[in-house]
Amino acid sequence: MSRDDPIAAAILSESAYERTRYREFGWFNQSLTRKLTIQSYLLHLLAAVLPVLAMLPGEIRTAYLGEPLADAAPAVGVAALAAAGVVAVGGAGLIAVALFLLARGDSLDDETARAVRSVERVCSMTGLVTGGVATLAVYSLALIGFGGIEAVRAWTAAGGGNPYAPTGVHLPLATVAVAVLGLGVGLRVAAAYLRSRGVGDPARAS
């Protein structure tokens, strides 16, 4: 067996978690640190909604957002924060799983390892799938304005609601962008820390 084969190394590993991870088929068999990194990218994308809105045609910004743009509080900003919350919840769950593995990983039996993997899959579904779909929805709303005022009016007339209209929740775009960016940086830092502790890379531990 080659020492460079991570799958073989994991299956023959003393870690019940790593054996379970590679023996079970699934869409979320990436390492915990890899999934945290991907979720941080989603958060960076959501934080980038502010500069995307800044590139909207002037007529859209004047009619719906006003100046300065950073102080505007449109519905799409609230949607971005909600999407970021979904991604962050999934990321927090993965961090909790990783910390549990750091504390108990060497002593897990196969049954407990399978339970941990189940929790990990739920967190992955939340952060990557639900969060990814939510991110796509936010960008779909943010980009409507590039079709001009008529596109926004057509969307609103179809019952979609004006994504640039203010809501009852006053959340300035600048506040949303900073908060979401902070969450993204937090997940990146967590991924780097966990990677430095050997989480998610059994091949390096051999």
pLDDT (0 to 100) of residue 160: 82
Q: Residue 166 in 3-state DSSP? A: strand
Give the pLDDT of the chain (206 residues) as one tens digit per residue.
Answer: 445 545 444 444 556 667 666 666 566 678 899 999 999 999 999 999 999 999 999 888 888 888 888 898 999 999 999 999 999 999 999 999 999 988 886 677 878 888 888 899 999 999 999 999 999 999 999 999 999 899 999 999 988 889 998 888 888 999 999 999 999 999 999 999 999 988 765 444 33
Q: What is the pTM of this model?
A: 0.84
Q: CA-to-CA distance for 109 and 155, rounded, in angstroms?
A: 54
Q: What is the dihedral of CA 128, 136, 182, 56, to 10 degrees?
A: 170
Query: What is the predicted pLDDT for the residue at 45?
Result: 96
Residue 48's contacts (CB-CB under 8 Å, 6 or more residues apart) are: 177
93: left (phi over 0), alpha (psi -120 to 50) or beta: alpha
Q: What pLDDT sits at residue 173?
A: 93
CB-CB contact of 160 with 70 (8 Å): no
